[in-house]
A and B are shown apart, each in its own frame.
Chain A
């Protein structure tokens, strides 16, 4: 069994979630090759080679691969999947752009959001916003799968894989990258933060979200939000937690002014400890909260801030 893992990066640094992918890959295969696709990203390949559990790193560099345009990147994944038994990538926007396209090019049925491996061909994945878990067996010769980094303990330690640069990359001319609008934030990354402070429609405005930002600073936490808060323009889209946003599983998740719709709960219910602050004692979020505080957030947050000083 040989696995190909696709490295997520920004041409400079490797996204931390790769360590969870390695853990999953080691459960299905005895040899693990990492594929780095990008431009001017030798440092990424070197950093990947220094992660435990990886036997070999393949590097493809080309100007047309700089921005991760799927039309240019997916054919490389499809070609490199030949001879592999598994192709794995951390679930997220990049995996959603690349893997289904690569899988279709290779005529394979991808498996989205794997949360457990029962056998090299049998996996558990959530359906319906995590309200059901399906155990599925794949008959494909190459299993393309995105895996939830929150479901696999990151592999620890260092490695010393070899790096092989392979030629490849071409511009299909179909899609052009124009610009990235990234919300600058000093907080840790939402999907890997130990503590997440999340706000919903109850927060009421973009200005009021500052209360959560301040609390997050105090706790070295990331800031998240419900879809309703994003829709209302309080915070950018990358803050969204849920079925159709990001999946998080921090040690502590503090839901503030969030009602607890199933689509939101889908994104945070695997958090170790959940706190809910809501003025409605019947809000569904209390059903899954370890600690529920019925209170007006505008009174509770300053008190919380003070108690943490």
Chain B
């Protein structure tokens, strides 16, 4: 089977983000970018499935402006076979992104779409579920383990009460948690080789998708910082502060 993996380009997770002076968005100009961490785990799992003979091709897809090319090249260098870039001036919102992924899936006919559970930029946690809905496929979400056998994926889904074990029939959409696996890095020789791998560029128009926004961002603010507190000398002082000053314990 073929696996489609979606990879999103986001601000590096360890960078402290800044709101633009005009409060229109978070500043991305000149800021270090990276592949969304959850997408790294999605890609890693797809590569492991290929290595295990479950899949024979891993296709990576990214939707967004020209800078996504770099993220896709990284994915190819890590080990994907082929890349598709759907070019859009601004990153579409989750519903439009899901429509684009759906249109690509209809052309590519993958057995599984591996996605990240969440983009650490918008923190939406929507695109995988929406893609599954639009394709009419099953969904296995927030997976910290996934095993494929006989066309069925048995997954451990991380939910509020612990772990839920589910079985999802393929074709399906699966979304990765960071605990799914430990993602590998690209090596230098593979970075060179990746330059020769097939790379296709499409547009939402070519896929007949209306990628327009439904949400308009009116303003982006920096949340008020928490006022720093005090250092206490020892446990006795801590307990007395909690009892008498903060009044949070009896």
Contacts and interface: CB of A to CB of B under 8 A. Distances in A.
A180 B140 contact: no
Interface in B201-250: 213-223, 226, 228-232, 234-236, 238-239, 241-242, 246, 248-249
B221 to A, nearest CB: 5
Contacts of A138: 214-215
A102 B134 CA distance: 10
B165 A181 contact: yes
B178 A244 contact: yes
A273 interface: yes
Interface residues of A, number: 87
Interface string B31-60: 000000000000000000000000000000
Contacts of A157: none
A130 B223 contact: yes
B124 interface: yes
A101 B219 contact: no
A101 B17 contact: no
B93 interface: yes
Contacts of A47: none
A71 B160 contact: no
A243 interface: yes
A238 interface: yes
B199 interface: no
B239 A94 contact: no
Interface in B153-203: 154, 158-169, 172, 177-179
Interface stretch (B64-72, B105-113, B114-122): B114-122
Contact of B133 (A105, A178, A272, A291): A105
A286 B160 CA distance: 28
A112 interface: yes
B239 A304 contact: yes
Contacts of A134: 217, 219-220
B12 to A, nearest CB: 11
Given A94-B160, A273-B248, A307-B236, A227 B178 contact: yes
A202 interface: no
Contact of B221 (A135, A179, A274, A287): A135
A252 B141 contact: no
Interface string A42-82: 00000000000000000000000001011100100000000
B63 interface: no
Contact of A273 (B127, B178, B242): B242
Interface of B: 11, 13, 16-17, 19, 26, 93-96, 98, 117-118, 120-134, 137-142, 144, 154, 158-169, 172, 177-179, 213-223, 226, 228-232, 234-236, 238-239, 241-242, 246, 248-249
24 contacts: A71-B132, A93-B159, A96-B125, A96-B142, A107-B95, A110-B124, A126-B123, A128-B26, A128-B120, A131-B222, A132-B223, A135-B221, A174-B168, A175-B167, A175-B168, A175-B169, A178-B154, A227-B178, A231-B179, A236-B163, A237-B144, A286-B228, A293-B235, A304-B238
Interface of A: 67, 69-71, 74, 92-94, 96-97, 100-105, 107-113, 122, 126-140, 172-183, 191, 195, 219, 227, 230-231, 236-238, 243-244, 246, 251-252, 262-263, 269, 272-275, 286-295, 300, 303-304, 307-308
Given A136-B217, A238-B161, 10 more contacts: A100-B127, A104-B134, A109-B96, A110-B94, A129-B123, A136-B218, A175-B172, A238-B159, A274-B229, A295-B234
